[in-house]
Amino acid sequence: MENKSILIILALFLCSITIPVMVNSKYHSEKSIHSLHLKKQKVTHLHFYLFDILNGNKPTAVQIAQPNITIGYKSTTPFGHLYAIDDLLREGPNESSKVIGNAQGLYISSSQSEDMTIVMYIDFGFTKGKFKGSSISVFSRNPITEPNREFAVVGGRGKFRLARGFVECKTHFFDPIPSNAILEYNVTVLHY
C-alpha cells in the first residue's frame, strides 16, 4: 500500500513539471514591423461606377443558391439567396464610358424585412490605367435601400497591398423590374 502511495505521489509530481519545448515552425515567421522596410503610407481616392445587371442577354450577377423556403418580405433579392457577380467598373455612369475593371465576388440577401440588405464580399480589380493588375477587397453589410452607404475596405493586392479604408456608395440608377443598377463608388484607401 505504501509503495502505491509513493508511486501516485511521484506520478503527480512528474505531471506537474512543465518541460520547455522548442517549436520550430516552417510555415511562418515573426518579425517586427520595422524589419519589413515598408514605404510611407499613401492615401488614394478612386471614383467609378459599377454596373450590376441581373437580367437580360448577358447578366453580370446571377443567383447561384437559395434556401428551400424563403421567409419574409418578397423582394428582387429574397432572403437567403446567394449571387455571384462579375460587374463592369466604368469611369462614368453611361454604358459608353470607359471600362476600367471589374468587380467579382459574392453577395447574399441577408434581410427578412423590406429594408433589402445584402452582405457582400467583392474584389474590385483594375484592368486599365495606373492601377492595372491591382485590386481592393470589400467585405461589408450593404443596406441597398439607403441613399448613402459605407463599406469596409479589408485588403488589396498589387499597388493596394495591405490596403484599408472605406467606400461611399450611392445608387445612381435602379430599375426594379429587371433588377438592374448603376452604383457610384467613392473609395478612400490607405496603402503602401
Tens digits of pLDDT across the chain (192 residues): 566 666 566 555 555 555 554 445 455 555 555 545 567 889 999 999 999 998 889 999 999 998 887 565 566 667 888 999 999 999 999 999 999 999 999 999 888 877 788 999 999 999 999 999 999 999 999 998 899 999 999 999 999 999 999 999 999 998 877 779 999 999 999 998
Determine contact, residues 76/179, Cβ cutoff 8 Å.
yes
Which are the contacts of 158, defined by CB distance < 8 A and separation ≥ 6? 131, 133, 134, 135
pTM: 0.77
Say whether 12 sits in a helix, a strand or coil.
Answer: helix
Give the separation between CA 113 and CA 90, rounded to whole angstroms. Answer: 32
Q: How many CB atoms lie within 10 A of CB 99?
A: 14
